[in-house]
Structure 1
Amino acid sequence: MDNQRNLLLAVLLSGLLILGWDVGMRYFYPAPPEADVAEANLDAQASSTAEPAGAATAGASTASNAVSGEAEPQSGPVDLKTALAAQARVKIDAPSVAGSINLVGARIDDLVLKNYNATTDKDSGAVRFLAPGNTDIEHFAEFGFVVAGQRVSSRAVWEADGETLGVNSPVTLSRTDENGITYKIKFAIDDTYMIAVDQSVENGSQAATIIQPFAYIKRTSTNASPDQFIAHAGPTGVFGGSLYDPNSYEELAELGRDTPAGAASWLGFTDTHWASLLIPGEGETDTAGWRSLGDNLFRTDLIYDAKTVPAGGTLTQSTQLFAGAKVSEILDAYEDTGITYFGKAISWGWFEWFEKPLLWLLRTLNGLVGNFGVAIILLTVLIRGLMFPIAQKQFGSMAAMKAIQPKMKALQERYKDDKQTQQAKIAELFKEEKVNPLAGCLPLIIQIPIFFALYKVLYLAIEMRHEPFLYIKDLSGPDPATILNAFGLLPYDVPGFLGIGVLAVLMGFTMWLTFRLNPSAMDPMQQQIFNLMPWVLMFVMAPFAAGLLLYWVTSNILTVAQQSYLYSKHPQLRAAAEKEKAEKAQAKEREKAEKGGA
């Protein structure tokens, strides 16, 4: 009766765990919009994104106020195609990106990433990353000047000396104001995602002028990746030689502005797979940080210190803009050029030392077999192969533990009234017999960092994005073949905790099988809980990345094969466990008979 009550309680708690997990994850870490960051519909209608005048908070520098003080043109909501067609533009055409520079305001506000499709549909088109202001996916970078405390208008029209910005084909924008001061902005792009920007001034006026070059990135958070416990997305940078990413967009909106201490090595906004970042050149900065503009709009500012340019004098300031995919190898290559911790734009966290080698190994295996799903299987086989000697020691220790069970029981009986002495005597017994009671936990402990690291690699590494395997179109997303919608044949979506796919079922079954093959002598209640555990985990793990479940299923299958082999090498272990189970069953039958006779 007690066992039945306990089992019912275990089932109830398991159900609460499944429901609580799903509700909690949806509440604290809501799913991103269907269009991941820049995967928005190209024809989506826009909402007004005008920046109110005076958006800068009290205490900001004069230049910071000047940059913030000019409102966007009140043109009202516009769709993307209309915005791109309305302005004079210089084309961008490079190996990894395409788009244009807006000659009104010298803005890079049109950029798509050639190497990445918006969805798993091959005809979905390239990911759109940057978009003009006053569209509902606005995200752009602007470069300009503050002159004598006044910002050069963002509505000013610049002239270009070329029609297309490409590798080895820089483009320079220029304009001269009514005082005879000439401003130039030279853009050069490499073969990935870095744009070098040189801002220069030639003071052709009759008097010295105070000038501050600036750059900023402005974006909406409505289509941003969610900031999650596993990976940060949002305002990110390196200040004073340390990574700085404490705030989500919601937290920045509460703060109003955030200007970290220390010199900025880079700063901007990151998403799960993309980033728009400013890298300061030489020269002191007046302002480097982020601010909330209201209406889900945010900006990262990079304003250099004021310089006095004498009549006939010049001023030049260099800045770099990274706008594109967070490919680990590309970011690390830029870091090698001197950009401090640029590789940490990917939110690796504490296990970076293990996650990056794991990603390298997956890429290497994928290069050999041509499929990341097969690479994950090979990775699992490799890991289990390396752990096989540990598993052998584990089974040997288990066999030794079974052999000394009679001695342990004798000590427990002799010192049953003196627990401290009992524990000391048992420890002496372990030492004499050279038995490690914790040896069985070692494989599990080793698996934990591997499992977590693979989870983060599948989530963060852009190499895993939209990678197919068999019927799965994206190994970094959940298994699409869920049972309750007939594996996608029925036209409705299944809630997260009920979205049990093929891999989740296989995971539950193979885990249950590993427990069944392990003849551990448990009491009936423990046995029932262990029988229930695989099916609880099946519900909990179903929404996770399909690649992670593929790893777990493969690991379980290898565990079954490994157990079968090792039990054949240690028959005394199985025999001892089966004998103990039989003795417990007989004791239980006697107890029932005694109760029946009473």
Structure 2
Amino acid sequence: MDNRNLLLAVVLSGLLILGWDIGMRYFYPEAATPPPARTAAAARADASAAPAAGLGADVAATGKVDLKTALASGGRVVIDTPRLAGSINLLGARIDDVVLKDYRQTVKKDSGPVRLLAPEGTPEQYFAEFGFLTGGVRQPANALWQADGQRLTPETPVTLTRTDAAGITYRIRFAVDENFMITATQSATNAGAAAAIIQPFALIKRTSANASLSQWIAHSGPVFAADAVANYDVGYECGWTLLSTCIDLSEDKLYKIEGKADWLGFTDQYWFSALVPGKGVASAEFRAVGDKLFRADVLYEAATVPAGKSLTRSTRLFAGAKESTLLDSYEDSGIAQFGRAITWGWFWFFEKPFLWLLRTLNGLVGNFGVAIILMTVIVRGLMFPIAQKQFASMAAMRAVQPRMKEIQERFKDDRQRQQQEIMKLYKEEKVNPLAGCLPLVLQIPIFFALYKVLVLAIEMRHEPFVLWIKDLSAPDPAHILNLFGLLPYDVPAGFLAIGPLAVLLGITMWLTFKLNPAAMDPVQQQVFAIMPWILMFVMAPFAAGLLLYWVTSNILTLAQQSYLYSKHPQLKAAAAKEKEDAGRKKTQG
């Protein structure tokens, strides 16, 4: 395989992997080991067969409530941990006010922390609720609870209490760790005269209006793990999908999780909320409950609680950032597949080491952009011996080209004999025609893994590089439409937002093609002439960190090609002769 075909294959593979992101934002990645697919008809049948005694569908909140007004009304217990701030609403025992202290909304220092959870009825409504069914009837969602403390911290748990007309006392004890995990221990003590049938439940309800878009490379939407298998097959709305099962929750209304639910919730690109059920679960499911409103439910088994007896169940709530090391630590503590809340996909064994390397390099140099450059150098350095073997194989193939042409001419009327003689020639000269393909086979998963790491890694969010690049996870903010940052305004990103990094990508890609001395037919020449500039437009809206990686890779490719061609001058000589012969034939023709 000569170098022009290798380069063409790499470029086309890059387009295949990256270019689709613009047109296939609803393409879901693969599940780790997907459970048997459920059809839409089956989901609708489940919905119609759902028993009346259950959580059922909420009545969608009417109107919109201002966030400040919602947080100011009613009694609240303050949440204050090293990484979380917010409050618990005593009206309904809801955790509906959570912000993440470590993450800002924008790169501006005064932008305020990222808000994850918000009260019902607000434009960004997203909350968790813990309650009880008694006798199959859900306790009032607007019931007022009493708290035994004013602040929930890692050192001070808080217990909410209320007693109903039948004399049953309900308690919810909230405890929180140093990160993003809240434990809700629900108990019911029957002080009445008769036995009661009680079912604790927990739910997360959110709007999809402010959800990040689900991409083919990174799932956003409902996500769960059951029987230690992560699953990304349920979507708010599926749109057009390819090579993946997608259950449209907005259409099917209900999705029941089969098997033991390890956890369930909703994921965005960087944020994640999930319920981690304890023992005694009766059902775990997702529901569409209104216009762009969705819910994840955990309902525990009904238990008969005699007079004077109690019932206790425990559920954990994760509400925070998708930090790989943190999620893995929770997984190590017993929450199956919790680290797969990040859509690593098939190449996780490449991606996690790359992320570790990026974090390590960033810790050493203190600049994530420099860490990306250093990681690219290291990866290309490790692959250099393979590139050397590729060029050696190309040189060997060039050396036997005259004898191959002789065989082809001699046995042009006998294809079988021709192939036999060519294989014999390869064996005699110890030439492997497939050796040149090995770098391509390795580069595709490595490139794909690097791309996913740069898209999924929250570590890159809001990380600056140099000068005008203040956020490597966002597109290059300086582009042609604002005269490369000279005009003091932002322009909506799009394929015309060609920034300096995109221009460098086009130029360096064009130079790698120009350095290739191989002869090309007119069609190949046209492809190689326009491909760099097509890539420049396609890649312009992508994260600056990804473009930085690719530009660095192209520069290293230029250096590598120059060095290897100097070690194999016969490749240049043979290509020059081919070009000369091709030009002569064209003139004569």
Q: TM-score, normalised by structure 1?
A: 0.87
576-585 or 457-466: bigger deviation: 576-585
Aligned partners of 1:359, 1:315: CA distance in 2, in Å? 44
Paired position in structure 2 for 1:60: 50
Aligned partners of 1:110, 1:544: CA distance in 2, in Å? 32
Paired position in structure 1 for 2:573: 575
Paired position in structure 1 for 2:42: none
2:168 partner letter? I
Paired position in structure 2 for 1:594: none
Paired position in structure 2 for 1:286: 282
Paired position in structure 1 for 2:155: 168
Aligned partners of 1:191, 1:400: CA distance in 2, in Å? 61
Given that residues 57 and 287 in structure 2 are in contact (C-alpha distance below 8 angstroms), is that contact kept between their aligned partners in structure 1? no
What pairs up with 1:335-354 in 2 under 5 angstroms? 335-354=331-350
1:214 partner letter? F
Aligned partners of 1:460, 1:24: CA distance in 2, in Å? 17
TM-superposed deviation, 1:26 = 5.2
Q: Does 1:476 align with 2:463?
A: no
Q: Does 1:260 align with 2:257?
A: yes
Given that residues 219 and 343 in structure 2 are in contact (C-alpha distance below 8 angstroms), is that contact kept between their aligned partners in structure 1? yes
Given that residues 275 and 315 in structure 2 are in contact (C-alpha distance below 8 angstroms), is that contact kept between their aligned partners in structure 1? yes
TM-superposed deviation, 1:572 = 2.4
TM-superposed deviation, 1:58 = 3.8
1:120-147, CA deviations, whole angstroms, 9 ceiling, x for partnerless residues? 2121100000000111110000101111
Q: Does 1:244 align with 2:240?
A: no
SS for the counterpart of 2:514 is helix
Q: Does 1:97 align with 2:95?
A: no
What pairs up with 1:57-96 in 2 under 5 angstroms? 57-64=47-54, 67-68=55-56, 71=59, 76-96=63-83
Q: Structure 1 pair 208/142, CA: closer, same or farther in 2 (3 Å)?
A: same
Q: Structure 1 pair 164/494, CA: closer, same or farther in 2 (3 Å)?
A: closer
Q: Structure 1 pair 189/180, CA: closer, same or farther in 2 (3 Å)?
A: same
Paired position in structure 2 for 1:459: 455
Aligned partners of 2:21, 2:566: CA distance in 1, in Å? 44
Aligned partners of 2:289, 2:438: CA distance in 1, in Å? 52
Paired position in structure 1 for 2:35: none
Given that residues 92 and 142 in structure 2 are in contact (C-alpha distance below 8 angstroms), is that contact kept between their aligned partners in structure 1? yes
Paired position in structure 2 for 1:399: 395
Paired position in structure 2 for 1:230: 217
Q: Percent identity?
A: 63
491-500 or 391-400: bigger deviation: 491-500
Paired position in structure 1 for 2:240: none
Q: Gaps spanning 5+ residues in structure 1: where?
A: 1-17, 32-55, 592-598
RMSD over aligned Cα atoms: 2.3
Given that residues 148 and 210 in structure 1 are in contact (C-alpha distance below 8 angstroms), is that contact kept between their aligned partners in structure 2? yes
Given that residues 26 and 214 in structure 2 are in contact (C-alpha distance below 8 angstroms), is that contact kept between their aligned partners in structure 1? no
Following TM superposition, the consecutive aligned residue runs of length 4 or more in structure 1 with deviations greater than 6 angstroms are: 18-24
TM-superposed deviation, 1:259 = 0.4
Q: Gaps spanning 5+ residues in structure 2: where?
A: 1-13, 28-45, 238-247
Select the structure of larger CA radius of gyration.
1
What pairs up with 1:74-153 in 2 under 5 angstroms? 76-153=63-140
1:78 partner letter? V
Paired position in structure 2 for 1:373: 369
Paired position in structure 2 for 1:49: none
Aligned partners of 2:147, 2:492: CA distance in 1, in Å? 53
Q: Structure 1 pair 180/190, CA: closer, same or farther in 2 (3 Å)?
A: same
1:149 partner letter? G
Q: How many residues align?
A: 546
1:180-219, CA deviations, whole angstroms, 9 ceiling, x for partnerless residues? 2111100000011000110011111111111111111111
What pairs up with 1:271-420 in 2 under 5 angstroms? 271-283=268-280, 285-420=281-416
TM-superposed deviation, 1:590 = 3.0
Q: Does 1:541 align with 2:528?
A: no
TM-superposed deviation, 1:419 = 2.3
326-335 or 148-157: bigger deviation: 148-157
Aligned partners of 1:386, 1:286: CA distance in 2, in Å? 52
Given that residues 265 and 340 in structure 1 are in contact (C-alpha distance below 8 angstroms), is that contact kept between their aligned partners in structure 2? yes
1:404-444, CA deviations, whole angstroms, 9 ceiling, x for partnerless residues? 12111111111122223222211221221112223333222
TM-superposed deviation, 1:278 = 0.4
Q: Structure 1 pair 338/494, CA: closer, same or farther in 2 (3 Å)?
A: closer
242-251 or 301-310: bigger deviation: 242-251
Aligned partners of 1:121, 1:345: CA distance in 2, in Å? 28
Q: Structure 1 pair 412/57, CA: closer, same or farther in 2 (3 Å)?
A: closer
221-230 or 239-248: bigger deviation: 239-248
TM-superposed deviation, 1:72 = 7.0
Q: Structure 1 pair 146/396, CA: closer, same or farther in 2 (3 Å)?
A: same
1:247-285, CA deviations, whole angstroms, 9 ceiling, x for partnerless residues? 2102101001110211111011111111110001122x2
Q: Structure 1 pair 544/319, CA: closer, same or farther in 2 (3 Å)?
A: same
Paired position in structure 2 for 1:561: 559
Given that residues 26 and 216 in structure 2 are in contact (C-alpha distance below 8 angstroms), is that contact kept between their aligned partners in structure 1? no
TM-superposed deviation, 1:30 = 8.0
SS for the counterpart of 1:156 is coil
TM-superposed deviation, 1:485 = 2.7
Greater RCO structure (CA 8 Å; 6+ sep): 2
Find 1:551's aligned residue among 530, 549, 552: 549
1:508-543, CA deviations, whole angstroms, 9 ceiling, x for partnerless residues? 211211122121122344233222222222222222
Aligned partners of 1:387, 1:71: CA distance in 2, in Å? 58
TM-superposed deviation, 1:495 = 5.7
Given that residues 19 and 497 in structure 1 are in contact (C-alpha distance below 8 angstroms), is that contact kept between their aligned partners in structure 2? no
450-459 or 492-501: bigger deviation: 492-501
Aligned partners of 1:455, 1:28: CA distance in 2, in Å? 16
Aligned partners of 1:494, 1:280: CA distance in 2, in Å? 43
Q: Structure 1 pair 28/447, CA: closer, same or farther in 2 (3 Å)?
A: closer
Q: TM-score, normalised by structure 2?
A: 0.89
Aligned partners of 1:403, 1:20: CA distance in 2, in Å? 34
1:474 partner letter? D
TM-superposed deviation, 1:27 = 5.5
